[in-house]
Structure 1
Amino acid sequence: MPEAPDVETAWTWLLERRPMTRGSFDDTLPPIAAAAYAEPVLRRLFPFHTHGTLKFIRDAPPWHEPPVDDLPFIVLGDPPYSVYTPAPTTRLGEAATAEDAIGLVVAHLPPGLRKDAAG
């Protein structure tokens, strides 16, 4: 499966469900992907669909080591959506809508990322 070369391409492929790319086969992804893309702070991060989750990575490939996985992520499926922190994995909460799940992610981003989005 090819990896998108940059953040903008990753979002385009994710939203368009480009065949043979991350998330193209996951019918539960579109509402979460659309809600995430609507948030400017998340739109600057690399969207990473893996194992039934949508994660957000601070940088785009090429990764010389596994990417730093330190941001909240969403478990996909039917609502309610569960939002977790990475290791140690802790559930932050559940949300009835994709927009509310994205709100939980944004609310639990490190302060530097939230601050950068505001100005």
Structure 2
Amino acid sequence: MLYPDVAASGSLAAALRAEAESCLGAVPVTSSDSDPLRYAAVASTLPHREPLQINAWSHERRWSIRGTEPFQGLALLDGRTEDLTAVARAARAWHDGAALDDIRRAAPFVHLTGRSEVPDHHPARLTESEWQSMRQEAAELEYAWKEPYQALIEAAYAEPALRALYPFTSHWVLRFSATTRPHLTVVGPCLTAGSDGTYGLGRGIITPDLGRFDTAHEAVALAVRHLPSGLGPVTLAPST
């Protein structure tokens, strides 16, 4: 009902090409075998980019995109729009290997996650990329506890011992790893930001059994003291 044009074309891939043939040119657009009316993908000429995923919403007429890197499977960009031609512009730029900022300029609905492309999988650059994504995510939050959570992320990033570790979250709990994704090696305690403006530190993600503090800096300082000794630079995820 929401996409009669897509249904008439037979697939989202065909509808996308019909909408923006001059933009896409000879760029291949593939359909999902399981749900061709809702899903399509556009590959990139760059080996360190997965195909751009395009999907149609089920409850209103809108499309979403997501572009990831293959090593960790994390998003470099995403976005949503009601303009299928804008989707085609983003897909063409992704396919052609345009820089992430240039993709956003070509299609302003595109949202960059803050991650950098690290084709050589250098663990220090992957770590810094993840920190930048986490900082951006905290700054963009719209929840009531945005300010304490952002303060926690910034306080942890300002501490060299924690900034040297690979950050990740589980249920909005800040945690650290000695290896990059996709196989994390968890080290140290867990940091939390409460909606009441306090900060917790714990051995697990449920209870702040190591203390609750009035400032993020206090919690971060104690977290550093609970790090295991002998930690070296972050390494790539071990192979399985």
Same fold (TM over 0.5): yes
Deviations 1:17-70 (A, max 9, x none): 289xxx95662421001000111111111111220211111111132xxx2223
Alpha-carbon separation, structure 2, partners of 1:7 and 1:61: 10
- 1:34 is matched with 154
| SS of the residue 1:91 aligns to | coil
Alpha-carbon separation, structure 2, partners of 1:81 and 1:14: 18
- 2:167 is matched with 47
Q: How many residues align?
A: 108
* Residue 109 (structure 1) aligned with residue 203 (structure 2): no
- 2:214 is matched with 96
Structure 2 residues not aligned, in runs of 5+: 1-72, 76-114, 119-125, 234-240
Alpha-carbon separation, structure 2, partners of 1:14 and 1:36: 11
Q: Percent identity?
A: 31
Greater relative contact order (Cα < 8 A, sep 6+): 1
Alpha-carbon separation, structure 1, partners of 2:209 and 2:150: 22
Q: Deviation at 1:12?
A: 0.7
Could you tell me which of 66, 74, 82 is aligned with 2:191? Answer: 74
Q: Deviation at 1:73?
A: 0.8
Paired AA for residue 2 in structure 1: L
| SS of the residue 2:210 aligns to | strand
Paired AA for residue 81 in structure 1: Y
Structure 1 residues not aligned, in runs of 5+: none
Q: Deviation at 1:90?
A: 6.8
Deviations 1:60-114 (A, max 9, x none): 1132xxx222310112223321100149x7711111100001011001111223x
- Aligned residues: CA RMSD: 3.0
Task: Return structure 1 stretches of 4+ with deviation > 3 angstroms.
Answer: 23-26
- 1:83 is matched with 201
Call closer, same or farther: CA 1:68–1:90 in 2, change over 3 Å: farther
Call closer, same or farther: CA 1:72–1:25 in 2, change over 3 Å: farther
Could you tell me which of 1, 9, 12 is aligned with 2:132? Answer: 12
Contact 1:70–1:85 (CA<8 Å) still a contact in 2? no
Contact 1:70–1:86 (CA<8 Å) still a contact in 2? no
Contact 2:155–2:217 (CA<8 Å) still a contact in 1? yes
